[in-house]
Chain A
Amino acid sequence: MGATWVYAEVTPEGTLPSALELLTKARTLGGDVAAVALGPGATNAAGELGAHGATTVYASDDQVFADRPGRPAAHTLHQLIGQHTPSLILFPGSYEGRDVAGCLQALTGSTLMANVTDVAGPSRAQTEIFGGTKIVEVDLAGPEPRLVLVRPKSFPAEPSGGTAEVVMVDAVTPTGPTATIVERHAEAATGPKLEEANVVIAGGRGLGGPEPFAMLDDLAAAIGGAAVGASRAAVDAGWVPYAYQVGQTGKTVKPEVYIAAGISGALQHVVGMKGAKRIVAINKDADAPILKIADLGVVGDLFQIVPALTEEVRRRASS
Chain B
Amino acid sequence: MNVTVLAKFVPNPTGTPALGPDNLLIRDAGDGALDPGDEFGLELALQLVEAQGGEVTVVSMGPDEALTGVQRGLAMGAHRGLLVTDPALKGADALVTARVLAAAIARSTYDLVIAGVESTDGYTGTMPATLAELLGVASVTAVRKLEPDGEGFRAERQTESGYDVLTAPKPALVTVTAGATDPRYPSLKGIMAAKSKPVETVTAAGLGVADLAATQTVAAVTEAPAKAGGEIVSGDEAVTRIADLLTEAKVI
Binding site for B on A (CB under 8 A): 69-71, 74, 94-95, 98-99, 101-103, 105-107, 109-115, 124, 128, 130, 132-142, 149, 151-154, 176-188, 192-196, 198-199, 223-226, 251, 256-257, 259, 277-278, 280, 282, 286, 291-292, 294-300, 305, 308-309, 312-313, 316-317
In this complex, the member of B23, B166, B213, B242 whose beta carbon has the largest number of chain A beta carbons within 10 angstroms is B242
Does A94 lie within 8 Å of B160, measured CB to CB? yes
Q: B residues 225-242 with Cβ under 8 Å of A?
A: 227-235, 238-242
Query: A128 — which chain B residues lie within 8 A by C-beta?
Result: 224
Q: Kindly list 13 other residue pairs between chains A and B, CB separation below 8 angstroms, not including A105-B94, A180-B167, A193-B179.
A: A98-B129, A99-B141, A102-B128, A124-B219, A132-B224, A140-B215, A225-B251, A277-B249, A282-B238, A298-B234, A298-B238, A313-B252, A316-B247
Does A300 lie within 8 Å of B235, measured CB to CB? yes
Given known pairs A114-B123, A312-B239, the reply for A103 and B139 (CB within 8 Å) is yes
Among the listed A102, A111, A151, A291, which residue makes an inter-chain contact with B127, where contact means beta carbons less than 8 Å apart?
A102
Does A98 lie within 8 Å of B141, measured CB to CB? yes
A167 to chain B, nearest CB (A): 25
Given known pairs A177-B170, A178-B138, the reply for A102 and B179 (CB within 8 Å) is no
Among the listed A111, A256, A257, which residue makes an inter-chain contact with B216, where contact means beta carbons less than 8 Å apart?
A111
Among the listed B134, B172, B214, B216, which residue makes an inter-chain contact with A177, where contact means beta carbons less than 8 Å apart?
B172
Among the listed A94, A151, A280, A300, which residue makes an inter-chain contact with B245, where contact means beta carbons less than 8 Å apart?
A280
Q: How many A-B residue pairs have CB under 8 A?
A: 261
A109 CA / B17 CA spacing, docked (Å) = 31
For residue A138, which residue of chain B has the nearest CB? B216
Q: B residues 84-115 with Cβ under 8 Å of A?
A: 93-95, 98
Given known pairs A185-B165, A296-B231, the reply for A149 and B134 (CB within 8 Å) is no
Interface of B is mostly: mixed
Which size class do B's interface residues fall under?
Answer: 35 or more
* Ranked 5 nearest A-B pairs via Cβ: A102-B129, A153-B250, A106-B133, A187-B162, A111-B215
Given known pairs A149-B126, A182-B167, A294-B230, the reply for A300 and B252 (CB within 8 Å) is no
Query: A300 — which chain B residues lie within 8 A by C-beta?
Result: 234-235, 238
Interface of A is mostly: mixed
Does A105 lie within 8 Å of B141, measured CB to CB? no
Query: B131 — which chain A residues lie within 8 A by C-beta?
Result: 106
Does B218 lie within 8 Å of A142, measured CB to CB? no
Does B247 lie within 8 Å of A99, measured CB to CB? no
A308 to chain B, nearest CB (A): 5
B193 to chain A, nearest CB (A): 29
Does A141 lie within 8 Å of B216, measured CB to CB? yes
A282 CA / B230 CA spacing, docked (Å) = 13
A268 to chain B, nearest CB (A): 16
B210 in the interface, Cβ–Cβ < 8 Å? no
Query: A257 — which chain B residues lie within 8 A by C-beta?
Result: 245-246, 249, 251
A306 CA / B232 CA spacing, docked (Å) = 16
B145 to chain A, nearest CB (A): 11
A298 CA / B125 CA spacing, docked (Å) = 34
Does A179 lie within 8 Å of B249, measured CB to CB? no
